[in-house]
């Protein structure tokens, strides 16, 4: 079964984990394919999430200038077009890209301008999610969510918290999420990846997001599964990434099929197209080969993702029509 021509929705996609070879070669001329894979693609199996996250540093170091941020954004839109992704939400932490003098607001403006250009060039519809990190201070989280509020007219659609779940107390970031609710900013949050159901419960309690990034360990607590179903909390599932970060030993051990059968709202995502070395079409193929998923499974996941997208109702109506075309 060829999934490359299927229209797809992707809601969990990190800009700094999706640098194409051509982009890196533009800034490091002569880089070999082997060196690119060693530095910008994570191993098929990392020790854990912390080990995986430690490998993003070269990508972050490259994305410190207007030229690099623009090139990476445009290249990612081209990747999405070639994968027949019709709508994507691309996330990044703007405070990570200020090491060479750019202000955080400048970073957001650069990426949003590049996204607008990429949308016009490719026809892929997209929005931006700004991330704080779990090891950030309360002030840094507040600065990030205020950037979301400031740039909502510039393709910025939501707020997220990423990073190592084992770092810091979630209460540190509670005020930033309260600010988001007060200003009607849609929110998601990474949880239930490095830690189990207790991480998801904490995240729901302190942050009250509409979506959870990953959340795949919720099946360890039936009461949590019931809560997610009842409250229509969408899970942004990234199967290959979850195996790579050693949440699961193999794809066959992944909980996605159980989550689907439990009636949880979920979508399929790559997390990062370079770090995970995967396209969304390949994610579909792997789920088809491993769990026997077919058109009905993928259509439901894409419709769930549309429902959960941080997009206008007009945009969602168009996406639903495209999925049934």
Structure tokens at 158: 């939501």
Asked if 154 and 114 touch (Cβ cutoff 8 Å), the reply is no
Kind of pairing, strands 211-214 and 234-237?
parallel
- Enumerate the active-site residues: 193
What span, in angstroms and rounded, lies between the C-alpha atoms of 260 and 321? Answer: 23
What span, in angstroms and rounded, lies between the C-alpha atoms of 255 and 11? Answer: 19
Asked if 183 and 149 touch (Cβ cutoff 8 Å), the reply is yes
What span, in angstroms and rounded, lies between the C-alpha atoms of 113 and 94? Answer: 14
Structure tokens at 322: 């495209």
What span, in angstroms and rounded, lies between the C-alpha atoms of 324 and 256? Answer: 23
Residues listed for the chain: 325
What span, in angstroms and rounded, lies between the C-alpha atoms of 156 and 130? Answer: 7
Residues with Cβ < 8 Å from 231, sequence gap 6 or more?
A: none
**287 beta partners:** none
CB-count burial class (<10 Å; 0-12, 13-18, 19+) for 126: buried
Q: What are phi and psi of 174, to 5 degrees?
A: -60, -40
3-class SS at 221? coil
């Amino acid at each position: 079964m060829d999934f490359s021509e299927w229209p797809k929705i992707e809601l969990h996609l990190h800009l700094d984990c999706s640098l194409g070879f051509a982009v890196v070669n533009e800034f490091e001329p002569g880089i070999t394919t082997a060196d690119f894979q060693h530095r910008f693609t994570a191993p098929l199996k990392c020790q854990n999430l912390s080990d995986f996250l430690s490998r993003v540093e070269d990508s972050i170091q490259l994305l410190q200038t207007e030229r690099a941020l623009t090139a990476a954004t445009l290249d990612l839109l081209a990747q999405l077009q070639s994968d027949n992704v019709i709508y994507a939400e691309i996330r990044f932490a703007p405070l990570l890209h200020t090491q060479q003098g750019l202000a955080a607001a400048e970073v957001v403006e650069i990426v949003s301008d590049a996204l607008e250009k990429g949308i016009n060039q490719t026809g892929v519809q997209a929005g931006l999610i700004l991330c704080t990190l779990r090891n950030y201070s309360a002030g840094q989280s507040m600065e990030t969510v205020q950037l979301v509020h400031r740039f909502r007219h510039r393709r910025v659609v939501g707020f997220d918290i990423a990073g190592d779940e084992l770092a810091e107390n979630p209460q540190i970031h509670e005020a930033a999420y309260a600010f988001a609710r007060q200003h009607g900013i849609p929110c998601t949050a990474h949880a239930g990846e490095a830690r189990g159901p207790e991480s998801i419960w904490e995240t729901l309690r302190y942050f009250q997001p509409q979506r959870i990034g990953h959340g795949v360990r919720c099946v360890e607590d039936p009461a949590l599964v019931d809560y997610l179903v009842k409250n229509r909390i969408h899970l942004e599932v990234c199967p290959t990434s979850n195996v790579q970060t050693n949440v699961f030993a193999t794809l066959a051990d992944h909980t996605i099929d159980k989550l689907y059968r439990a009636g949880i709202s979920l979508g399929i995502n790559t997390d990062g197209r370079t770090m995970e070395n995967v396209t969304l079409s390949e994610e579909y193929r792997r789920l088809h080969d491993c769990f026997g998923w077919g058109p009905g499974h993928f259509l439901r996941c894409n419709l769930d993702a549309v429902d959960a997208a941080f997009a206008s109702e007009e945009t969602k109506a168009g996406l639903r029509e495209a999925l049934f075309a």
